[in-house]
Amino acid sequence: MIQKIYKKIRWVYPKRYISWLEKNMNYAGIEIKTENFITLSFLYSLAISFVLSLVIFVLGHKFIPYLAFFSSFFGLQLLFDLMVVMIGDKRGNYAETVLPDALQLMSANIRSGLTPDKALFFAARPEFGVLEREIKFAASKAIAGEPIEEALIALGNRIKSRIINRTFTLIVEGMRKGGEIASLLEQTADDIRDLKILKKELAAQVGMYGIFIFIAVGFAAPLLFSFSSHLVITMSSISSKLNLGEASKYASLGALKLGVIKVSPDFLITYSLLTLVLSSFFGSLIIGLLQDGKEKAGIKYIPIILTLNLTIYFVARLVLARFIGVITPV
C-alpha cells in the first residue's frame, strides 16, 4: 500500500526531474529509493506549508496565506534538492583532495608486482573516505571479471567531479594504448596536485574582491538601510505636523520645495527587508563564484549573510530610536 503511494506521488513529477534527482542522489551517496525520497520531501513540504499558512490565516490575513503556502511549498522542495546537490559537491571536493594519494598508492602497488585490479583494491584506505568506498566497489567489479577500464570509468561517473571523471578517462585511454600504468598514475597525481595549488593561488588573488562584497552586503547595506529608513520616517513625521496651507500643500524656499512626505513606515521596512534578502542571496552567489568558480558554492553563505544583515538592521534601528530619537523633534 505504501509503495503504491510512493509510486503515485512520483508520477506527479516530470521524468527529467526524476532522472536528475537519481543522478544527484547517486553522487550524494543517498541509498534510499528515489520515490521514497520524493514522497518524504513532498509530505514534509506540504505539512510545513500548511501549518505556516494556517498560522498566517489565524493572525487575520486573507490572501497572504495562499501566497505563503505555495511559496513555502516550492521553496522547501527547492531546499531539499539543494541539500542533495551540496552533499554531492562536498563528497566530490573531498574525493578530489585525496585522489592524488590514491593514485600514488595504486602506482606503488603496480610497481610491487600486483595486477591493476588488485592494485586498485589495495589502494582503498579508510583515510580516503568517500573515495575508499568507490574504489572498493570498482575493484570488486574488476576482480569479478569486468574489464578494469569499464570499472574505472564507472568509478569516475559515480563521483561528482570533473577532475576525477577526466582523470580516470585519461588513465583508461593510456591503458588501452599500451602506456606504462605506474608512470601514468604518478604523473597524473602530480598534475592534480599542481592544479589544486593553482586553484588555491587563484582563490587567494581574488579573495580581496570576495571580502569587499561580504563587507558591502553584510555590513554596509543593513546600516545604510537602517539610517535611511529612520531618516525618512522621522522627516515624514515632522512634515505631517507642518501646516503648509490647504492650497499648495507645500512651501517654497528658493528653488527648494518643501512638501509633505507621505511614506508609510511599513512600506519602508518591507522594502528594506526585501532588498536585504535579495542582496544576501545574490551576494553569496558572487562570493561562491569568486572563491570556488561555481555560483552554488555560495549557497552555504546565504544563511550567514542573511542573519548578519537582519541582525545589524534591527540593532541599528534600535540604537537610532533610543539615542538619536532623543534629540529628534518627533
What does the pLDDT profile of the chain (330 residues) look like in tens digits?
Answer: 666 666 677 777 888 888 888 888 888 888 888 888 888 888 888 888 888 888 777 776 666 667 778 888 888 888 888 888 888 888 888 888 888 888 888 888 888 888 888 888 888 888 888 888 888 888 888 888 888 888 888 888 888 888 888 888 888 888 777 767 888 888 888 888 888 888 888 777 777 888 888 888 888 888 888 888 777 777 766 666 655 554 444 555 455 555 555 667 777 788 888 888 889 889 888 888 887 777 877 888 888 888 898 898 888 888 877 776 555 554
CA–CA dist 138, 253 (Å, integer): 82
Residue 184, number of CB atoms within 10 A of its CB: 18
The reported pLDDT for the residue numbered 247 is: 43
* CA dist list (Å): 242 to 259, 325, 328: 9, 19, 15
Does residue 130 contact residue 29 with C-beta atoms inside 8 Å? yes
pLDDT of residue 257: 56
Q: How far apart are CA 110 and CA 174, in angstroms?
A: 15
Q: From CA 54, how far away is CA 65, in angstroms rounded? A: 7
